[in-house]
């Protein structure tokens, strides 16, 4: 099982995960020793604070600021965190709508909150598109395992 698979299965709730598209950052190769290489970039799974700090350092964006900005715009994020479908791509189909970054964290099941959270661990994912749009999606961890 890879770090990413464990994270998506809800087995690493203290960690964060993020995807970096190969065209979004320079010197991606320097991170490959700590990441899983995927078709268009890399996915890193790191301990909470270290992961948030690494994301901010590499991307230049506060991950929780991204979450706050993106949470009100629902979109589709690939369940392996390697991209997404920008919610405004239909408005301008000629523009590039590639997910540059995806940031994700898990939240443990919480029956008191209800809804999706009562059903199991929830993955929260936030994406930044090359067009500038930010968007989010959340799903049950078991659905991706």
Q: How do residues 100-117 score in pLDDT, each as one tens digit? A: 999 999 999 999 999 999
Single pTM value for the model: 0.91
pLDDT at 129: 96
pLDDT at 143: 55
pLDDT at 72: 94
pLDDT at 112: 93
Mean pLDDT per block of 10 residues along the chain (145 residues) reads 90 94 86 87 94 93 94 95 94 88 94 92 96 96 63
Q: Are 73 and 134 in contact (CB under 8 A)?
A: yes
Q: Are 77 and 125 in contact (CB under 8 A)?
A: yes
pLDDT at 145: 40
Q: Are 18 and 104 in contact (CB under 8 A)?
A: yes
> HSE (CB half, 13 Å, CA atoms) of 69?
14
């Amino acid at each position: 099982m890879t770090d990413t698979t464990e994270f998506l299965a809800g087995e690493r709730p203290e960690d964060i995960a993020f995807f970096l598209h190969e065209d979004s950052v320079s010197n991606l190769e320097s991170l490959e020793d700590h990441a899983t290489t995927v078709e268009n970039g890399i996915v890193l799974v790191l301990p909470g604070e270290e992961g948030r700090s690494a994301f901010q350092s590499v991307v230049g964006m506060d991950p929780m600021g991204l979450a706050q900005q993106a949470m009100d715009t629902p979109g589709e994020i690939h369940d392996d965190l390697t991209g997404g479908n920008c919610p405004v791509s239909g408005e301008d189909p000629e523009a590039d709508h590639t997910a540059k970054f995806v940031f994700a964290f898990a939240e443990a099941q919480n029956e008191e909150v209800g809804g999706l959270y009562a059903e199991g661990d929830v993955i929260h994912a936030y994406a930044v598109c090359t067009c500038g749009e930010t968007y989010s999606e959340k799903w049950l961890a078991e659905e991706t395992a």
